[in-house]
Amino acid sequence: MQLFYAPRSPFSRKILAAIVELDLTAQVGLVRVDPWTDEALRRHNPACKVPTLLLDDGSALFDSPVIARYLDTLSGHTLIPPGPQAWDALRREALGDGLAEAVIRRFVDRLGPHDDRLDRVVARQEAAIAAILDRLEAAPDWMRAPTDLGHLAIACALDYLDGRSPELAWGAQRRLLAAWFYDFRGTSSMKIAANPETGSFRAMDQARPLVEV
């Protein structure tokens, strides 16, 4: 299998961390792309987004929740617990993905020309970011649960938030979440996701130069 990924993409990182957690690094080669400019990716994913997983039969899977489920079924391990707890893990995954999406949209929207409409759009993203962070802080039991897909999604989104929007200083008012995150990002799956060359992934031929996403 080949994973098309971009190094800074939180959704790509979620999948990279999942591959490490699921012990599948030997089965996945990595192709680094810039989804904004690399039209070769569109052959596999018409939306031209990362992550995209190219399977050995030539078909492709996207987006990241679908890829995560596929990899989970392949592995002898699991990041989606059986039974009703699956919904907790999947809800957490959606919260993490929703946070990452809001941070990306806020960043992109703020690049545009300033007007009232834009202010409203940015305010809406900031409301989503604050509400997701507050929800995660207010019911902290999940922080003590065994690692599942939701933990990976949340940690990758927080990492992206830290790097992309440090001015939001999210940790100051959410001490539990910040303590959990700064500990969790030291786990080996998160470290390899941030720097995949340190894992046992094969880099594939089509690799492109690093471009910021």
Ligand X SMILES: N[C@@H](CCC(=O)N[C@@H](CS)C(=O)NCC(=O)O)C(=O)O
* Binding stretches for ligand X (CB under 6 A): 6, 9, 11, 35-36, 48-51, 63-64, 97, 104, 213
- Which residue, 5 or 174, is less far from ligand X as judged by CB? 5
169 token code pair? 């200083």
- Which residue, 137 or 154, is less far from ligand X as judged by CB? 154
- Which residue, 10 or 137, is less far from ligand X as judged by CB? 10
Alpha-carbon Rg of the chain, whole angstroms?
Answer: 17
CB of 144 to ligand X, least distance (A): 26
CB of 160 to ligand X, least distance (A): 8
Residue nearest to ligand X (CB): 63
CB of 100 to ligand X, least distance (A): 7
CB of 53 to ligand X, least distance (A): 10
